[in-house]
Each structure stands twice: as structure tokens, then as C-alpha cells.
Structure 1
Amino acid sequence: MEEKVELFIKQLTPDVYMMDEGHMACGYIVVGTEKVCVIDTMNGYNDVKKVVREITDKPIVVVNTHGHGDHIFGNVYFEEAYLNPDDFDLAEESINMPEFANACKDSGMKMPPFKPIKEGDVINLGGKTLEVYNLPGHTAGGIVLLLKEERILFTGDSVNHHLWMMLKHSLSLAEYAKSVDRILFLKDKADRLLHGHTAGFDDISLLTCLRDGVQEILDGKTENDKDFKWSGGTCRQHNFKVLEGKEYSQTDEYVIYYKP
């Protein structure tokens, strides 16, 4: 891709690196003794493979948490990537967006094939294992990955500070609530989480705080909600609260955007 956006690399632990592409999207690098995993490749403005090669020469496994362009476009620098099949159609729609399709044509690059990944799969990197769990809601094929040894949960956009649930491919809030309830046991297996648009670690309590916020909407406690205008029209926004005394990567508002 010709356009360049600055990529900020931050080492979070001895084996986990965060990539922040112009504060637009985040991806992660997890290094094991045998392999390295890239979780989300962001917008494609930067050669993520080159970044990985500056850290290690181990074989690379690429996993996309869901099919939106700002998490998969950097796949163009790799030979293959894993994605939940429930997001294959969404990924294809993202890839066919004229701006990205034309950029690929102009640069002579193309997206590699997707390989399926699903709940129950385990990625063994050697001394580091990533367990895959489905979390549909933001998209139908959203997944989260638990780095078991370091008690870190990678959530993509399925759990974050600004949950977008008003998109065409988003499920209902009721369906999302059931999805979160099903994986709530992960709060006992992880201490911190890393999502797709962050400045660093969030306490794992963000998972339950977000779930509580969704329940407030489902229960009709929306008297303070406001309209939010975005490129797809107008939706509603609901602020939810986080816990006092816990560490979060941002201190601004925490919001769920949803269909009216």
C-alpha cells in the first residue's frame, strides 16, 4: 500500500507486543519458542510481516478476530490467515470495497486465502498457547483468544471501550448478551484483556462491566441515552460504568452504540 501511516510498537510483556497503526487499529504479536502469532493485521498501511521479522525469524501464524477491514487488510503481507467462517462473507465484502480493491490493484498485492478457525481450536506456539472462543455480536464470526500462560484475553472488537452494535453485520444486543454470558468463565482465566482499539491493557472486569451495560439497555434503562450520527446513519449511544480502583487503558467515556 502506498499510503503510509505511522506504526507504533510497544512491548507489553517479554513475549507480547502491541502494534498501534496511527491510533486507528491495534494488532498483536505473541512469541513462543517455536512459532509466533499475529493477532489482527490492521489496515495494511504497514508491512506487519517485516515488523515480525525484526523481532523473530520463527514461523508465523496469522489470526483475524473478525472480518472488518481494519483488522484484516494487513493480511496482504502474508501467505494465509485464519478467520471464523461465520465472517467469511463479511471479509469478502470488506476486501471488495473499492478503495481497498483499487489499492491492491495499484500495488500489485492481493489478499491471501482464509483458513477456518473456530472455538475449541488451540494454537501452540511452544510454551505459549492461545485458546479460541467464539464471541458473536459485533460480527457473527467474532472470536477471542486466551493466552493461557500469561492470563491475557485478546478480544478484537468484541469487547472494548466503544462497542459498535449498530452495524449491518452486528447481531442483536440480546444475542450478544447470551454470547458474553457463555464465555464469562474466562474472567477467572484472565487478569487483563487487549482489544482492537486501545492504548494498552484493560482489567478483565471490562468484560463484565460491558455486559452490565448491555443489560441496562435491554432493561430499558436508556433515559440518558443520546443519538449518535455516524457514516451509516443515526444510532443510539449508551454510557456504561467501569469499576473504581481497576486499571483501564483509557479514562474517557465507555460507550455501547446500538440500533434504535
Structure 2
Amino acid sequence: MNSLDKEVHANHSEYEIRKKYLNMTMGDNFAFVIEEDFIPIESSDRYKPLLLGDHFNFGGINLEICVGAGHTLGLVTILLVEERTLLLGDACNPFTFLFDEYSLGVSSNEKTLIELDKLTNGRYDRVYLSHGDGDAPKVMLDSVLAVCEDIKAGRTDDVPFNFMGHTVFIAKKIDETMKRLDGGLGNIVYSKEKVNQ
């Protein structure tokens, strides 16, 4: 784990926080969950450091740890070199969160994504995310970069959105399945106070 995410790990490991997230995603089925169903979370101290530029051989596939900070300060992306696959995780997706105390602002996130694009451009053919079925078009990074520019230029729909006590904005209008109405791919949920950060 990147040590910059130790605080996020500690906060999101708390039982009450985990209950809130599970309740939000399970709806009525949450009534069947009991405390014993929750796996105990160990301290982040047990994790080995995951640093930008690290390389790992994983069964004949080389993994390159790349920049990804935005959704959290320690978020990384991973390039599977021989597989020509980029694991974006929460760095870019159809609903990228950039609003809470653990995230960068839109401008800083954009700088991270530009750096990621320079590092990985032409080196991948597939992209995977951490939400939905995980599969995404190769142009997801470009799409989220375009949304960053639209936010900074005031070309957004700014749909109000409430998430666990945060009142923020969805940059581009979406349908009930969270797909953009204008046909675009990436989207950002952001705080107006963090646009230029």
C-alpha cells in the first residue's frame, strides 16, 4: 500500500464506516448482515510500501506501478507490460470522486493524469476500472482529462449530488445507470472549492 493512503485505510476500516458503505450498496438486503459477517481489518502497518516506479514480476508478467493520485493521495495505477493492460482502478472512471478530504482537487488530478498519459501512451490496449464489470474503452483516460478541462472552463452541467454527508456536483448529466447523457465516457464528482487545487 502507498503510505499516503494510511489515513484513508484507518478511517475506512472503522466498523461504523464499513456499515454505512455496505448499507448504501445493499439496500434492503443489509438487514440480513450481522457484525460477525465483517472481516476484521488489520493495521496498515502490515502492508509493504507500494511506490511509484516499483516493478514486480508476477508469474511472467511485469507490473509497473504508475501515478494515479486523485481519488486518494496514494492511489496508484498499474501497467501490466506484456499484457498491454492498464489498471486504472479509481483514477479514471465513469464516476470519479474528487471531493473529500482524501482527494486531490481537479487541477492537481489533471496533472497526475497528464503524467500518467505521458508514461503509458502507446503501451496499453486494454483498460480496467474498479467499478462495474471493470472493462473500459482504451480512451477512458482521455475522456476524464477532457472532463477536467470542462470543469475548469465552466462547461459542466453541475448536477447536485449528496454522498455520505458531502454535497457536491456531477460534472456531466447522467441517466439512471450512471451513463453520461451526452455519450461521453468519463465523469467527475467534485467540490467547487477544490477545482483549482
CA contact (8 A) 1:159 1:195 kept: yes
Q: Deviations over 1:80-118 (max 9, x none)?
A: xxx1111011111111243659947x8784426111111
Does 2:4 align with 1:86? yes
Cα 1:251–1:100, aligned 2, differ >3 Å: closer, same or farther?
Answer: closer
CA contact (8 A) 1:187 1:207 kept: no
- Secondary structure of the corresponding residue to residue 183 of structure 1: helix
Give the whole-Å Cα distance in 2 for the aligned partners of 1:140 and 1:100. 20
CA contact (8 A) 2:97 2:189 kept: yes
Report the equivalent of 1:193: 127
Give the whole-Å Cα distance in 2 for the aligned partners of 1:231 and 1:108. 22
Q: CA deviation at 1:187?
A: 3.0
Residue identity opposite 2:104 in structure 1: L
Give 1 or 2: higher helix fraction.
2
Does 2:42 align with 1:111? yes
Q: 1:121 aligns with which of 48, 54, 59?
A: 54
- Secondary structure of the corresponding residue to residue 188 of structure 1: coil
CA contact (8 A) 1:154 1:194 kept: yes
Does 2:155 align with 1:203? no
Aligned residues: 168
- Secondary structure of the corresponding residue to residue 8 of structure 2: helix
Residue identity opposite 1:84 in structure 2: N
> Which aligned pairs between 1:206-225 and structure 2 lie closer than 5 A?
206-222=140-156, 224-225=157-158
CA contact (8 A) 2:5 2:73 kept: yes
Q: CA deviation at 1:152?
A: 0.7
> Which aligned pairs between 1:153-172 and structure 2 lie closer than 5 A?
153-172=86-105
Report the equivalent of 2:31: none
CA contact (8 A) 2:98 2:191 kept: yes
**What fraction of aligned residue pairs are identical, expressed as a percent?**
25
> Which aligned pairs between 1:245-256 and structure 2 lie closer than 5 A?
252-253=179-180, 254-256=186-188
Report the equivalent of 1:96: 14
Cα 1:196–1:107, aligned 2, differ >3 Å: closer, same or farther?
Answer: closer
Residue identity opposite 1:172 in structure 2: G
CA contact (8 A) 1:187 1:205 kept: no
Q: Following superposition, which runs of at least 4 residues in structure 1 exceed 6 angstroms of deviation?
A: none
- Secondary structure of the corresponding residue to residue 149 of structure 1: coil
Give the whole-Å Cα distance in 2 for the aligned partners of 1:187 and 1:205. 11
CA contact (8 A) 1:187 1:204 kept: no
Larger relative contact order (Cα-Cα within 8 Å, sequence gap ≥ 6): 2
Residue identity opposite 2:127 in structure 1: L
Q: CA deviation at 1:255?
A: 2.5
Does 2:177 align with 1:259? no
Residue identity opposite 2:108 in structure 1: E
Cα 1:89–1:150, aligned 2, differ >3 Å: closer, same or farther?
Answer: same
